[in-house]
Amino acid sequence: MRAIDFAPLYRSTVGFDRLFSALDSLSQGESAPAYPPYNIERTGENAYRVTMAVAGFGESDLAIETRENTLTVKGEKAEEKAEGVEVLHRGIASRAFERRFQLADHVEVKGATLKNGLLHIDLVRVIPEAMKPRKIDIATVGNANAKQIEANAA
71 in any annotated domain: yes
Q: Give the C-alpha separation, 4 to 102, whole Å.
A: 19
CA proximity to 63, closest of 112, 12, 101: 112
61 in any annotated domain: yes
pLDDT band at 32 (very low <50, low <70, confident <90, very high): very low
147 in any annotated domain: no
119 in any annotated domain: yes
143 in any annotated domain: no
How many structural domains are present in the chain? 1
What is the CATH classification number for the domain harbouring 41? 2.60.40.790
Q: Give the domain extent around 74.
A: 34-128
pLDDT in tens, 50-105: 999 998 899 999 999 999 889 999 999 877 777 888 888 877 777 889 999 999 88
pLDDT at 20 exceeding the cut of 90: no
pLDDT band at 29 (very low <50, low <70, confident <90, very high): very low
Q: pTM surpassing 0.75?
A: no
pLDDT given at position 104 = 87
18 in any annotated domain: no
Average model confidence (pLDDT) for the chain? 79
Starting at the earlier edge strand, list the strands of the sheet with 13-14: 13-14, 97-103, 70-75, 62-67
3 state DSSP class of 17: helix
Q: Give the C-alpha separation, 109 to 102, whole Å.
A: 12
94 in any annotated domain: yes
121 in any annotated domain: yes
Find residue 35's DSSP bridge partners: none
Buried b (16+ CB within 10 A) or exposed e, 95-134: eebebebebeeebeeeebeeeeeebebbbbbeeeeeeeee
